[in-house]
């Protein structure tokens, strides 16, 4: 399973905490509030039906003796995306 979809991210969030199998593709649109942007992401663990949609992604960060583990708690469809950007390459 794999899907490309959009997530809303507040500026200043540490994007290095994203879980394994998750890749930022590009920042593509201003969010509804100042200081937010939509990012196109590729998620290897996502169901295909999420492709092209805007998603609320909730992450859980578990701190343990080996460091931290980031897991996806939930993916909720906010809306079908009006248009998905064409990727010009990696944002990383």
Span 6-63, pLDDT tens digits: 999 999 888 888 888 999 999 988 999 999 999 999 999 899 999 999 999 888 888 8
Query: Is 90 a member of any domain?
Result: no
Query: Is 89 a member of any domain?
Result: no
Looking at the structure of the chain, the number of domains it has is 1
Mean pLDDT of 61-90: 74
Q: Which residue has the tokens 């930022």?
A: 24
Query: Is 62 a member of any domain?
Result: yes
Range of the domain at 34: 3-80
Query: Is 23 a member of any domain?
Result: yes
Query: Is 7 a member of any domain?
Result: yes
Query: Is 86 a member of any domain?
Result: no
Q: pTM above the 0.85 mark?
A: no
* Residue 67 tokens, joined: 């460091």
Torsion of CA 41, 49, 19, 81, to 10 degrees: 30
Which residues does residue 54 pair with via DSSP β-bridges, in sequence order? 6, 79
Position 30 scores a pLDDT of: 92
């Amino acid at each position: 399973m794999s899907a490309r979809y959009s997530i809303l991210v507040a500026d200043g969030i540490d994007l290095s905490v994203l879980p394994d199998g998750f890749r930022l593709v590009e920042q593509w649109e201003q969010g509804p509030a100042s200081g937010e942007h939509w990012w196109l992401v590729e998620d290897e663990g996502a169901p295909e039906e999420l492709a092209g949609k805007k998603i609320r992604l909730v992450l859980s960060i578990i701190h343990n003796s080996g460091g931290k583990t980031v897991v996806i708690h939930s993916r909720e469809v906010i809306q079908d995306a009006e248009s998905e950007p064409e990727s010009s390459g990696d944002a990383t």
